[in-house]
Structure 1
């Protein structure tokens, strides 16, 4: 491979249309997508932890309500 061929190969690699995704690039892409999904889930979980705890419901009334006709 002489200098002209080397320059042509470098120029061809600089062309985005000639770029082919290999297995390594797919692995990097899938890892980045998975990381972004987990990061978004983590943000939502972090916000949920910061929410105040739900208050327990009031106990039901044990005595009947006073009658308005009494």
Structure 2
């Protein structure tokens, strides 16, 4: 997992998730269409916004940012 990293773009699915970015990583690992993911930390989109998981069908370039945790499927 890539701490404090966003991988913007190439999204095909997103949803609110739990506070554990590993859940998002597991969802990507178990989805044959997923090549990478970004977990958006709670509170990023507003004071009470839930954490979000964004699954990606490609591998966008990494961008440093404390908003997120990302990862690439091996």
Quickly name the TM-score band, shorter chain normalised. Answer: under 0.3
Task: From the two aligned structures, give the one with the greater helix fraction.
Answer: 1
Larger Rg: 1
Please state which structure has a larger fraction of its residues in strand.
2
TM-score, structure 1 length as denominator?
Answer: 0.20
Higher RCO (C-alpha under 8 Å, 6+ residues apart): 2
TM-score (normalizing by structure 2)? 0.19
